Homo-oligomer: A and B are copies of this chain.
Amino acid sequence: MKKTSVHTVVVYSGGMDSTVLLHDFIAGGTKTAALSFDYGSRHNHRELPMAKAVCRSLNVSHHVVPLTFIPELFKSALLLSGAPVPEGPYDVLTMKQTVVPFRNAILMGITVGYAETIGAAEVVLASHGGDHAIYPDCRPEFNRAFAQAARLGTDNKVSVRFPYEELDKRDIGDLGRRLGVDFARTWTCYKGGEHHCGVCSACRERKYALRCEEGMDPTFYLNSGGSK
């Protein structure tokens, strides 16, 4: 692994938030690479090919990291090995079932180690305000502590930043539209079927974010009913 001129490594799922983040850095002229993770979720097989295609079209260096131990050792409705994906509104009790414990710390830890290896200065992740109540490893106080650990735990003092930490998911959708993101090439549905289901809590959140009711959402949903 040679030192490269990459400045920023994006933790890139292929979902709408991290896709906007990737476009945001590319648009700003930053030399950017991306890491994605296959951790046995129901929707990895939908989002990862999209991530790959987007990176190819943007000419961004991209690796998919297999985390085969997660479905074996961890428990979550998000995983193929877990209970069914909850339907209904995006509220705390429903969504708690979809937590993969300490997932963001694991993904960021690997990305920081990779950044240190290739000489990149920073790692960015697209967690946002809408996730704070549900996922403890998306909250600003966690983000601060993890960033501090990364700075102290690497010789290059790798920086970890969360540029959308205070945004709402709809803010991210609006920003992506301004950046020309093709949201049809992003995946959100937790069920991971052929099309977005339109009823799981993640699809409802996506409809809200992409202003589905205003006719601005290019996604094909099996059930095109109300958002959030």
Q: Which of B69, B70, B101, B145 contacts A152 (CB 8 A)?
A: B145
Determine if A142 and B149 form an interchain contact, defined as CB atoms under 8 angstroms apart: yes
Supposing A106-B113, A117-B73 touch, asked if A149 and B152 sit within 8 A by C-beta, the answer is no
Q: Which of B139, B142, B149 contacts A105 (CB 8 A)?
A: B149
Does A154 sit at the interface, judged by CB under 8 A? Answer: yes
- The majority secondary structure among interface residues of chain A is helix
Listed in ascending order, the chain A residues whose CB lies under 8 Å from chain B are 1, 63, 65-66, 68-70, 72-75, 99-106, 108-110, 112-114, 116-117, 136-137, 139, 141-142, 145-146, 148-150, 152-155, 158
- The CA-CA distance from A110 to B102 in the complex, in Å, is 8
Supposing A73-B114, A141-B152, A152-B142 touch, asked if A105 and B100 sit within 8 A by C-beta, the answer is no
Determine if A117 and B101 form an interchain contact, defined as CB atoms under 8 angstroms apart: yes
Q: Which of B70, B104, B149 contacts A146 (CB 8 A)?
A: B149
Determine if A65 and B74 form an interchain contact, defined as CB atoms under 8 angstroms apart: no
- The CA-CA distance from A137 to B152 in the complex, in Å, is 7
Name the B residues within 8 Å of A100 (CB-CB): 113
Supposing A136-B152, A152-B136 touch, asked if A103 and B99 sit within 8 A by C-beta, the answer is no
